[in-house]
Structure 1
Amino acid sequence: MASVLESQRTNLRNALLRLIEECKNMRELKQIHTQIIKSTSITQSHQLLLLSRLLFFCAISNLGSLSYANDIFRAIKIPNPYVYNIMIRAYASKNYSRNETHYSFKSFLLYKQMLREGIAPDCLTFPFLVKVCAARVDGFLGRSIHGQVIKFGLCGDVFVQNSLINLYSICGLPSFARKMFDEMANRDVVSWNSMIIGYLRNGDLDDALNLFRKMRNKNIVTWNSIITGFVQGGRPKDALEFFHEMQAASSDVMFRPDKITIASVLSACAQLGAINHGKWVHDYLRRSGLVCDVVTGTALVDMYGKCGSVERASNVFKEMPEKDTLAYTAMISVLALHGFSKEAFDVYGEMEMNGMKPNHVTFVGLLSACSHAGYVDKGRWCFDMMKHVHSIEPQVYHYACMVDILSRAGLFEEAERVIAGMPMKPDVFVWGALLGGCQMHGKVELGERVAKYLISLEPLNHAFYVNLCDIYAKSGRFEDVKRIRTLMKERGIKKEVAGCSMIEIDGVVHEFSVRGSPDVGMGRILQVLNVLKKDMNNKG
């Protein structure tokens, strides 16, 4: 008889567990919860298991309710680490608004309650607590949690160690992250990726590369991280080389480029002006069957635009099945960059008509379009609309654009009023825009005052001395030109030239510099130049 009763209880438990797994909304879950509470044949251990599953659904699922999860949690008479971990995870993982960030600290309150009840944390408890510290970029609190990890003897757990590496990297403490990494007895691919990403995030590109070279089992995250990190770190040529290396190792599906790879490589092409390489990537995107979504489409628009092919950028933009604010902003910026100001505003009109809200970058593009075309009234309209219609507070670069518009139009008094009314301190770009206008219109006294102020801010920047010399030269004040050049000589300031150019041949970007280019066969180039020189001499 006892065995029959036990079998019935087990069948009931399993039936309720299946119902919880198939649950689609809170209404169904509350009905299941009622059954669990009212049933007298469910044992205490079975009830704890069922309530734990209910708690997981309410706390973690997008269909759940955290407030209802709290009610279930309080009703559990004998909680265990699993139950506490669910609640700690729930509060650590939820995305709260700025006014609700204090809710994330409930994870720590639950942890303290857990300790008071004599329940020891396990290897799943600490990664969630560390996640909160990382989200708040709180290295001090993170180190306190690290102390607790050591206290409970969990410093050798790979999941805990990986979370701490990520925390220290986010908090700008790469040396702490590396110490943790070096002390690990067993590292997995996440450990290596976390450390590499940490170095990249802190701008330590060479350290990231050294670790990348030592890593044996790379995955798509590894490749995307190193490619994206070097693109964002200002070394796009290296990023393209990594992409080629990735392709050479792409026999395994795990190594094949995805949308993130494509977007990063296109960004590298945009920085280098490598349009042929960009076209190849575009063709690869079509051949590989990868969907050209809004992210890759926007990257293509940006790449073609920065490489000078406005028509191709426009065609990609028109063919995009879906467009968001970033896509529209990219197209507006491309058109503004190349002087198609009217077309930039046409795209903005389409953007508004489709219900897309502009962001602060959108207005940088529009203000730049106004500057290139001399649209003073439109510039004022954009600046006013940004603040009063879209509630976007102008940043220093918006003020720089506005000052540039007014200075180019010779409206110096208004430009100075804009600078005087700035809620933040004007930077060199704002003053530089005013100086550019003075140079254009021969505004000597104002230009002299602005240039001297800029020189006091950055005394080693050759551009301000050169601009002032140009203003003096245009007004016939050659003695002042001589004086400024003497001052530059005394201070050891030389006019810098770019001295660097790039050319793309057969998909390979070659860089040439006046300082020398070790990766370029200069001997062969000199031979060709000598042949050309002789040929030119022979032809007079």
Structure 2
Amino acid sequence: MRAHCSRFSRTSYAAASTHASSGKTAQRALHSAAAAPDRRAPPGLGVPAAQHLGCTLELAAAIRSASAVPDGARGGGSALGRCLHGIAVKAGRVASSAAVAKAVMDMYGRSGALADARLVFDEIARPDAVCWNILITASSRGGHFDDAVGLFRSMLACGAVQSMPTAVTVAVVVPACAKWRRLQTGRSVHGQCDRFDDAFRAFTAILNKDLISWNAILSACANSEQHIEGFFGLLGEMCHQWDSVTVLNVIRMSAFCGINMDANIFFRNLAGRNIVTDNIMISCYMKNNCIEDAESEGLKPDIVSITGVLEACIHLCSVQLVRQCHTYMLRASLEDIHLEGALLDAYSKCGNITNAYNIFQVSPKKDLVTFTAMIGCYAMHGMAEEAVELFSKMLKLGIRPDHVVLTTLLSACSHAGLVDAGIKIFKSIRDIHRIEPTAEHYACMVDLLARRGHLQDAYMFALDMPPHAVNANAWGSLLGACKVHGEIELGQLAADHLFTMEGENIGNYVIMSNIYAADEKWDGVEHVRKLMKSKDMKKPAGCSWIEVEKTRHLFIASDVKHQDRSCIYDMLGSLYQQIKDTQTQNMTMTQSM
């Protein structure tokens, strides 16, 4: 009760003032916060509430200002911030003031001291969304993607009303997923923040619903295929005259339903068409694989449209559609370095490495995005040596690598078995490039060692991962390698980690069961099957597809529905027989030598 703003010691104030010499705002705030004499009573015992509040806000302002002082300045922003934190602790402000606690967390987060920010966070009795957002932002800014996502999930799990994710949370986590190329995680984050039920309850509670409220709930429905029936039900109840927003929602929902004809009618009669309406209609055509219809409608996609279309092409594995996009880009003179990277990536992922290389060669301004796309292309097609060589050229041009290109390079080395090159690259991440290795980097290294049969080294490497880098991908790589090399003991250890980290992933249980079965450890097989049964797990059927002469063919495990199944199975039987004959010939030749 005795600690408050007026209790600042002369020593602490002098040190803080010295550090604040490069930050005038922080210095002024310190003078204001520390000017009161020592003889006053603590807050609540005679000090006016307004004066106490002003003192607290001045201290919070000083801490926030300190985080803006460059570390290169005299005293440095980090040193000044820590000094102010010490003053706040002595004054009892961190425990009693949310504003000060948040300022301290933000200061540590901006300086990269995530552990210190977390310590302050853990002392807060009821952290709100702002506290969580500060930690998530700091983790994302520092390159700790898995930590950022883990914090987001903890934020959801706590269940407190004041801790529910906000628009700021999504604005931080989703771009981080895009930066780290975690599409599925990004979709999951977006889905977890999609509180349609709450929105619908709020809508039904409105007594006099206007056009804005109707369009808002229709837009919420149009974001997902799950609400198709509800969308058209609400549309039938709507008594207001439609406007352009209503029509756009109908077009978007028609795309989900595959009703191109209805969407066309709405679109053609839409007044005030612009690039936004065109992009929505292009998306509608692409979802139904009708890019030719989009061109016949006179739609003129922009850079944003084509980038989205290329993503759809990758999903469809359609090199034909990629070529159409490329042709349109040339006709429309769409020149953008990021769009070039997207086109290169699309050609690569659809199997056309020649066109990908040609785009890279003719690119006039090769930047990190372009090099990353081409290195990823080489990595995907098993050309690890070319990827390493291209990376060296990139460094010679003075282009500084980021975590994404380094992950791609390590992955290339892993799949090609270049152990020495991979180890050298991993060591260079911190020693040369001054980047903190991420969870993805550690996972690639475990995979690299495990694939080459260095299972014990891979296991020790996984055990030595720092806390922020521990991830299921690393242990999954080790488990898969144990299956290939028939290593039961290490497989059990890896599986134990995986069962704890992602207990609902049926793939891990299947692999461990197969490891036991290969060594005829039937008790182990039965144990794993009981675990799967207790969790009500069922393995989904495998699925793949291929494009032949502009037509996609979908295949499911044990498929008996494909129209050409007889010819396909005959060809498979013929190939299988050829493989057996070749193996027999090789064995005969080996024995005769």
| TM value normalised by structure 2 | 0.50
Residue 430 of structure 1 and its aligned partner are, at CA, apart by: 1.6
Cα pair 2:222 2:253 within 8 Å, conserved: no
1:422 and 2:470 aligned: no
Q: Percent identity?
A: 30
Secondary structure, counterpart of 1:504 in structure 2:
strand
CA contact (8 A) 1:199 1:205 kept: yes
Q: Structure 1 residue 461 and structure 2 residue 505: aligned?
A: yes
C-alpha change, 1:285 and 1:194, in structure 2 (3 Å) is farther
* Cα distance in 2 between the residues matched to 1:137 and 1:531: 53
500-509 or 269-278, which moves further after superposition?
500-509
Give the superposition deviation at 1:318. Answer: 0.8
- Normalised by the length of structure 1, the TM-score is 0.54
User: 2:276 corresponds to which letter in structure 1?
Assistant: V
Task: Give 1:315's aligned amino acid.
Answer: N
How far 1:306 sits from its partner (Å)?
Answer: 0.8
Deviation of 1:319 (Å) = 1.5
Q: 1:369 to 1:349 in 2, by over 3 A?
A: same
Identify the residue that residue 16 of structure 2 maps to in structure 1: none
Residue 381 (structure 2) pairs with residue 344 (structure 1): no
Q: Secondary structure at the match of 2:401?
A: coil
Cα distance between partner residues in 2 of 1:447 and 1:532? 37
Q: Distance in 2 between matches of 1:336 and 1:439?
A: 24
Bigger Rg, which one: 1
- 1:437 partnered with 2:481: yes
Please say if residues 371 and 404 of structure 1, whose CA atoms lie closer than 8 Å, have aligned partners that are also in contact: yes
Question: How far apart are 1:402 and its partner, in Å?
Answer: 1.1
The number of aligned residues is 356
Contact kept, 8 Å, 2:345 with 2:374, in 1: the verdict is yes
CA–CA distance in structure 2, aligned partners of residues 174 and 242 of structure 1: 30
Please say if 1:396 is aligned against 2:439: yes
Deviation at 1:502, TM superposition (A): 2.9
1:509 Cα deviation from its structure 2 partner: 4.1
RMSD: 4.7
Aligned match of 1:309: 352
- What does residue 143 of structure 2 align with? none
Instruction: Give CA-to-partner distance per residue, 1:219-272, whole Å, 9 cap, x none.
Output: 3224436767x9xxxxxx95363745533432xxxx311222222212211222
Matched-pair contact (CA < 8 Å) for 1:174–1:199: no
Q: Is residue 282 of structure 1 aligned with residue 359 of structure 2?
A: no
1:367 counterpart residue number: 410
Is residue 287 of structure 2 the alignment partner of residue 239 of structure 1? Answer: yes
Q: CA deviation at 1:317?
A: 1.0
The separation in 1 between residues aligned to 2:388 and 2:217, in whole angstroms, is: 43
Q: Which residue of structure 2 lines up, in the alignment, with residue 212 of structure 1?
A: 252
* Corresponding residue number in structure 1 for 2:369: 326
Whole-angstrom CA distance in 2 between matches of 1:508 and 1:220: 30
One-letter identity of the residue aligned with 1:262: I
Q: Residue 424 of structure 1 aligns to a residue in which SS?
A: helix
Q: CA deviation at 1:384?
A: 2.1
2:315 matched to 1:256?
Answer: no
2:424 & 2:354 partners in 1: Cα distance? 28
Separation in 1, partners of 2:460, 2:376: 27
Give the unaligned 5+ runs of structure 1: 1-97, 101-133, 140-167, 231-236, 535-540
Identify if the C-alpha distance between structure 1 residues 488 and 362 changes in structure 2 by more than 3 Å, giving closer, same or farther: same
1:382-406, CA deviations, whole angstroms, 9 ceiling, x for partnerless residues?
A: 2222223323322222211111112
Kept after mapping to 2: 8 A contact 1:247/1:256? yes
| TM-fit CA distance, 1:431 | 1.0
Which segment drifts farther, 208-217 or 275-284?
Answer: 208-217
Distance 2:227 2:333 in 1: 29
Q: Distance in 2 between matches of 1:401 and 1:357?
A: 21
Shift of 1:198: 11
Q: Equivalent residue for 1:224?
A: 279
**CA shift in 2, pair 1:357/1:226, >3 Å:** farther
CA deviations over 1:147-195 (Å, ceiling 9, x no partner): xxxxxxxxxxxxxxxxxxxxx9998667888979x989677xxx98999
Find the aligned partners of 1:369 and 1:531 in 2 and give their Cα distance: 36
Q: Which amino acid aligns with 1:445?
A: E
Instruction: Give the 3-state SS of the residue equivalent to 1:434 in structure 2.
Output: helix
Alpha-carbon contact 1:455-1:464 (below 8 Å) kept: yes
Q: Whole-Å Cα distance in 2 between the matches of residues 356 and 197 of structure 1?
A: 43
Aligned to 2:24: none
Aligned counterparts of 1:410 and 1:266: Cα–Cα separation in 2: 38
Distance in 1, matches of 2:455 and 2:370, equals 35
The gaps in structure 2 that reach 5 residues or longer are 1-108, 112-165, 172-189, 232-247, 255-265, 571-593
- Which structure 2 residues correspond to residues 281-300 of structure 1 after superposition, within 5 A? 281-286=325-330, 288-300=331-343
Structure 1 residues 501 and 438: alpha-carbon distance in aligned structure 2, compared to 1, 3 A threshold: closer
